[in-house]
Structure 1
Amino acid sequence: MFKKIGIIGGGSWGTALALLTSEHGLPVTIWAHNPAVALDINAHHTNSQYLPGINLPKNVHATANLKEAGSADLIVMVVPSKAMRETARALAALKPPDGTVVVSCTKGIESGTGLLMSQVLAEFLPRCRMAVLSGPNLALEIARHIPAASVIGSEHADLLEPLQRIFSSKGFRAYTSDDVIGIQLGGALKNIYAIAAGVCDGFGMGDNAKAALVTRSLAEMTRLGIAMGGRRETFFGLSGAGDLMVTCFSKQSRNRQFGERLGRGEKPAEIIASLKTVAEGVPTTLSASECAKRLGIDAPITAEVCAVLHEGKPPRESMSCLLGRPPKPESDHPSARV
């Protein structure tokens, strides 16, 4: 079905996805915003800045010219959420043919609008067919062919099987769903809770505390996610609970690392200035907090992480606020209140 794959984004996740999809022998072109990254990939068959030590096959090529990658019939979007609108606008200017398939692999919610990444893309590329991919997928492990799984979602049922084949390999299982909203919300919201989990690590709190936080995070993610249009079962699948677990517990998780540094006393601005890659939980926290307020959804963990990141509230004060909340039933389901 597909003849050429364009990966829009030359970071660690984009490079890992280029490696994964290249296994089917199709030409894969990575667009990197930084020309030096493209030169490095083409000269040494590796992305030494973002995914060092991983060799890329000969059918993977890189470019700093968006048109080269954007001319593919399968376009995979892996740019940071804050750059999605600008990149979508640039892609639209290239006038991709009607029916071009665009898969968003970026985990975020646009600040100000509350739009998911597929919705931002559809705004500029209404004649393209949209899909999403999300799950517990650490880029380095995928690149090393360590077994993993993910979920592909699309409202176009005829796309699911072809995309499932493209994104599947011996070590990577791709499942399918039509809950495009729920898949994206799980991937975006879990980054907020990973920051909170990292703060627990930075405080030196125990396993009991972290397990309790992650469990209550899943309840909050589900509550907010359903209100925003996702389905309950999706939040208990790979793109919800699965991604939440790996992001909150993995030493590789950028958002957990960010939170750990907060817990050790560093300021948000200092951490952001030191990062080479984006911690998506930082902008997503503000977006999700805005959505929760607009919808009237109780999201105390999101609210406290937002206060720490964007309002200067001390992390220990936020932890005390969460622990001091009034007692309540564990479940939000109506049957729990009967």
Structure 2
Amino acid sequence: MSATTLPTRVAVLGAGSWGSALAALAAEHADTLIWARRSEAAAEINDTHRNTRYLPDIPLPDSLRATSDFNTAIDHVCAAQSDALIILGVPVAGMADICQKLAQSLAARRHPTVHVVWTCKGVQPDTGQLPHEVASAALSGLSGVELGVLSGPSFALEVAQGLPVALTIASHTASTGDIVLAALHSQRCRVYTSQDITGVEVGGALKNVMAIACGISDGLGLGSNARAALITRGLAEIQRLARALGGEAETVQGLTGLGDLVLTATGPLSRNRQVGLAIGQGRTLEDILAGGMTAEGVRCARAALALGERHGVELPITAAVCRVLFEGQSPQGAVAALLSRDSRPESPNSYR
């Protein structure tokens, strides 16, 4: 990789657990500034090199700096002498606002080529848009701005601890992939490239819903066989929707599909799985949310189901999760309904 590929400056917008972990990785390779909404969080990162709210007991690099002023973060990348990188570390719910704010800031400034990549996973509840559609609506008309999505099986805490991880950057421009590789790729973080933005985003969105389903199954004590069946048929469900939206089946078999699904459906750090476990053990969604636990799969489930209906794609596991979460069906009833579905060929090559 040539030295000219290396981004001279990186800005991470969002100081949650994943934004902070990625900022720590980027700070090893480039001048990196992280933007936090709360001034207290920015001060803590600058003064103690910690983000105790999201990554307790994890030291952040001394070279990583923080600000709570949005314009300062944008000025940081606009002052770069070569291509710069902006990582959006915000949830789907905040994607539209941050993209509009970013578009206004970049339009008002001279800047080098800026590569904007996002990490959120889900579907916009009100519009049914995937994250790339939200980003494109706000940013694709700006000169010198390239877009991409960063995804893959990753728990922020493990990345911040320095444990190995593999991610995928999907973009329609090779230069965006090169910039992300230069900023994040290392011996402990392998980054792969893809052009299939849709496939990557569908895998990232629906795996959270499938993790809730697996958690419910585990909470009911249905065993490893049931979990394996849900993961496998959940993967087929993800693949059907991805292909209907223009994504590639091969993408769903990779890191951002199968890999992310296995991690989120089985990993102890998965909030989506934890929500499902709690429901399977008899708690209500209202009680779980009131306790402060949040999971993107809860926000995504209905929007994903509506997206499938709009494109004529059957999503039985997603539909079952929606009935349990929002329509009062018991977990046991949802399982019985799934098991009572007619048998069908698993693949087109079946004899039936």
Please list, as runs of the form range in 1=range in 2, the aligned pairs for 1:118-137 lying within 5 A after superposition.
Answer: 118-126=132-140, 127=142, 128-137=145-154
User: Could you tell me which residue of structure 1 aligns to residue 252 of structure 2?
Assistant: 235
Please list, as runs of the form range in 1=range in 2, the aligned pairs for 1:7-86 lying within 5 A after superposition.
Answer: 7-24=12-29, 26-71=30-75, 72=77, 73-86=84-97
> For residue 36 of structure 2, what is the amino acid of its counterpart?
A
Shift of 1:239: 0.4
Does the Cα contact within 8 Å between 2:121 and 2:204 map onto a contact in 1?
A: yes
Does the Cα contact within 8 Å between 1:5 and 1:69 map onto a contact in 2?
A: no
> For residue 350 of structure 2, what is the amino acid of its counterpart?
A
Distance 1:294 1:95 in 2: 35
> For residue 36 of structure 1, what is the amino acid of its counterpart?
E
- Structure 1: where are the runs of 5+ without partners? none
Tell me whether 159-168 or 320-329 shows the greater mean CA deviation: 159-168
User: Could you tell me which residue of structure 2 aligns to residue 307 of structure 1?
Assistant: 323
Does the Cα contact within 8 Å between 1:46 and 1:53 map onto a contact in 2?
A: yes
> For residue 103 of structure 1, what is the amino acid of its counterpart?
V
> For residue 301 of structure 1, what is the amino acid of its counterpart?
I
Shift of 1:98: 6.9
Shift of 1:104: 0.9
Shift of 1:337: 6.2
User: Could you tell me which residue of structure 2 aligns to residue 274 of structure 1?
Assistant: 291
Out of 200, 209, 213, the residue aligned to residue 192 of structure 1 is: 209
Distance 1:220 1:212 in 2: 12
Secondary structure (helix, strand or coil) at the match of 1:149 reads strand
Out of 153, 167, 190, the residue aligned to residue 173 of structure 1 is: 190
Please, what TM-score do these two structures have when normalized by structure 1?
Answer: 0.95
Tell me whether 48-57 or 108-117 shows the greater mean CA deviation: 108-117
Map Cα deviations across residues 44-88 of structure 1 (whole Å, 9 max, x no partner): 111101011111112211222122223323110111111111111
Distance 1:223 1:89 in 2: 32
Out of 63, 85, 93, the residue aligned to residue 104 of structure 2 is: 93
Map Cα deviations across residues 5-29 of structure 1 (whole Å, 9 max, x no partner): 11111111111101111111x2212
Out of 111, 115, 118, the residue aligned to residue 125 of structure 2 is: 111
Does the Cα contact within 8 Å between 1:29 and 1:68 map onto a contact in 2?
A: no
Map Cα deviations across residues 188-223 of structure 1 (whole Å, 9 max, x no partner): 110000011111121122111111111110111111
> For residue 280 of structure 1, what is the amino acid of its counterpart?
E
Secondary structure (helix, strand or coil) at the match of 1:193 reads helix
* Runs ≥4 residues deviating over 3 A: 96-99, 335-338
> For residue 287 of structure 2, what is the amino acid of its counterpart?
E
> For residue 19 of structure 1, what is the amino acid of its counterpart?
A
Secondary structure (helix, strand or coil) at the match of 2:86 reads strand
Shift of 1:95: 2.5
Distance 1:228 1:12 in 2: 30
User: Could you tell me which residue of structure 1 aligns to residue 227 of structure 2?
Assistant: 210
Secondary structure (helix, strand or coil) at the match of 1:265 reads coil
Map Cα deviations across residues 75-131 of structure 1 (whole Å, 9 max, x no partner): 101111111111112222212547321011111111122211122112111222101
Distance 2:25 2:247 in 1: 28
Secondary structure (helix, strand or coil) at the match of 2:106 reads coil
Determine if the alignment matches structure 1 residue 297 to structure 2 residue 313.
yes
The two structures, once aligned, show a CA RMSD in angstroms of 1.5
Distance 2:302 2:72 in 1: 34
User: Could you tell me which residue of structure 1 aligns to residue 337 of structure 2?
Assistant: 321
Tell me whether 26-35 or 318-327 shows the greater mean CA deviation: 26-35
> For residue 136 of structure 1, what is the amino acid of its counterpart?
P
**Taking structure 1 as reference, are residues 98 and 309 closer, same or farther at Cα in structure 2, changes over 3 Å only?**
farther
Distance 2:71 2:218 in 1: 44
Does the Cα contact within 8 Å between 1:9 and 1:77 map onto a contact in 2?
A: yes
> For residue 267 of structure 2, what is the amino acid of its counterpart?
S
> For residue 4 of structure 1, what is the amino acid of its counterpart?
R
Does the Cα contact within 8 Å between 2:74 and 2:106 map onto a contact in 1?
A: no
- In the alignment of these two chains, the number of paired residues is 334
- Structure 2: where are the runs of 5+ without partners? 1-5, 78-83
